Amino acid sequence: MSQAIKPAPTSNAPQAKPVQMTGAEMVVESLKRLGVATIFGYPGGAILPIYDALYESGIEHILTRHEQAAIHAAEGFARATGKVGTVMATSGPGATNLITGITDAYMDSTPVVIITGQVATSLIGSDAFQEADVMGITMPITKHNFQVRKTEDIPRILAEAYHIAGTGRPGPVLVDVPKDVANGKANFVFPETVNIRGYNPTTMPSMLQIERVAEAIAEAERPLMYIGGGIISSEASEELRRFARESGIPVASTLMGLGAYPQNDPLYVGMLGMHGTYAANMAIFHCDLLIACGVRFDDRVTGKLERFSPNSKKVHIDVDPAEIGKNVAIEYPIVADAKNALKALLEKAPRANCADWQRQIAAWKAEYPLSFKQQGESLKPQYVIDLINKLTDSRAIVTTEVGQHQMWAAHFYQFNEPRKWITSGGLGTMGYGFPAAIGAQLAKPDELVICIAGDASIQMNIQELQTIAERNIPVKVFIINNGFLGMVRQWQELFHENRLSESKIGAPDFARVAEAFNVKGIRAENTAQAEQAIKDALAHPGPVVVDFIVEEAENVFPMVPPGKGTDELIVKGWEE
């Protein structure tokens, strides 16, 4: 992973005569030297010196209307580009409003640097106004955190923060800056290199282990690649494609790995796990060699561990040694960057003898493909997303909120390239997709960026309509509106005797809400309106919200029930 995501290089230019600056000025100057051009944030008392230094700095600051939205936007920026995202907030409530986003970034290995203001050092621990122990709170949800105690340390700490966030397994790094440190003065000395004792991620694989894996592939009859977000983080998509095609090994993807391997390729099996395809879940159950690359054996993939891929020997390639063997016993552990490991495997040119296995997988794909039946005028949610896919020619960057619509987007939007799919996988954060789309759009201004949302999720950060309206950020928000917390309702129907406790949430007329923010709003309630609404939205040069009123009782299938094995999928209702 370390080679894929890099902060902008630190300056190698000789240091001129030291210049005295305030700590706040050092923050801004350091960010410029690190190549940071865009910051998402929200000002407040403790961080005001830094915001003052930011004024007329040339760095673009995106004022979101909530700190949670700011960090999700930074995540979207990072996921769309592979660069480290940057977010800034004040002390106390500003910092604590970031916590969900920091956790989300940690769970999904997203590189972001969070700069928080803090009360003056003399007040830390005194329950001062807007003081929170952000160091203690974020210790378990950051890759590393710093609290700056000396003004002169700011350039070094920021250089280290960006280096840590973007190398090895990417993740969030927090830098807490007390107000007196920001106001203090010292000589500005920016480090030419970053050298952190004890931090040296292993990125190159053991060639002995690579040799053993190559031998195992040659002996396997039913091999399967199980790939995840680590392929995308390490920019290993091209190596994966070459390896699969040269070895002949079929590829199944996690939710986070969608797009790492082209879905229109014959060797692609599908998404696996709780809402994965029948073929992918059958393949992982029956394979005899499982090559897991850039994944973490999440419980949404494994299901009941005792029934997880019971007949296979397992390879695990991951840059984070803590993930190896954490959930599942591994016969072939390889600690390395996925790109480097796949390159090493390609040099061994292993070829699997698995033609019968490929035919079996093709038969499973034909037996139970992802499908739906749009009948009548009322809208099936799958129909809407399939239509979005067709009318955008599968070319958009798609972000989602979390819920049924997220799974339908994963099923019916086709992803053939990496960094086109941005969703909250590990934490499952409602309120993520809309601000993530803002970050992705600012990172990729020439690309089409779509947020597919649920009516409940969009309400969690709907205030960001003001952000896109004010800056004319041309995000297209497509709301799949069924009036329910859809996935909660589905679980209540299937596992709680249809007792719909507090899952009917209701929603406003989102088109009118959008218009109130001076954003174009469209409402669609039947198939003809849906197609025209999508065309109108895509043709509009600015931001748009489309409110699709869909059938409220539709469920997501296939589904592996919680606590069951991947071979125990629910098929009831699938063909309907």
Nearest to 230, CA basis, from 176, 163, 316, 295: 295
* Backbone dihedral angles phi then psi of residue 116, each to the nearest 5 degrees: -115, 145
Give the Cβ contact number of residue 25 at 10 Å: 22
* Backbone dihedral angles phi then psi of residue 142, each to the nearest 5 degrees: -125, 155
Catalytic residue among 3, 130, 147, 263: 130
Structure token pair of residue 370: 């992802």
**Residue type at 480 in one-letter notation:** I
Going by C-beta distance under 8 Å and a sequence separation of 6 or more, which residues neighbour residue 572?
Answer: 557
Nearest to 276, CA basis, from 328, 353, 224, 222: 224
> What is the CB-side half-sphere exposure of residue 481 using CA atoms within 13 A?
22
Helix 381-391 vs helix 527-539: crossing angle, to nearest 10: 40
Cα distances (angstroms) measured from residue 60 to each of 32, 81, 249, 471, 487: 11, 17, 45, 12, 38
Catalytic residue among 88, 274, 430, 487: 487
The Cα 288–Cα 423 span in angstroms is 31
Is 25 one of the annotated active-site residues of the chain? no
570 secondary structure, DSSP code: B
Structure token pair of residue 143: 């890759």
Helical segments of 108-206, H only? 134-138, 154-166, 179-183
Catalytic residue among 67, 131, 160, 401: 67
Catalytic residue among 15, 20, 129, 207: 129
Structure token pair of residue 458: 């969009």
C-beta separation of 552 from 482 below 8 A: yes
The Cα 350–Cα 358 span in angstroms is 16
Give the Cβ contact number of residue 265 at 10 Å: 13
Is 460 one of the annotated active-site residues of the chain? no
Catalytic residue among 179, 314, 365, 520: 179
Structure token pair of residue 42: 């929200």
CA dihedral 395, 400, 404, 407 (to 10 degrees): 50
Going by C-beta distance under 8 Å and a sequence separation of 6 or more, which residues neighbour residue 442?
Answer: 38, 60, 62, 73, 77, 473
Give the Cβ contact number of residue 370 at 10 Å: 19
Nearest to 434, CA basis, from 275, 544, 552: 544
Cα distances (angstroms) measured from residue 234 to each of 81, 318, 361, 402: 12, 10, 28, 25
Is 179 one of the annotated active-site residues of the chain? yes
Can you tell me whether residue 245 is helix, strand or coil? helix
Residues forming a β-bridge with 451: 399, 477
Is 492 one of the annotated active-site residues of the chain? no
Going by C-beta distance under 8 Å and a sequence separation of 6 or more, which residues neighbour residue 498?
Answer: 492
Is 478 one of the annotated active-site residues of the chain? no
- Active site residue ranges: 67, 129-130, 179, 487
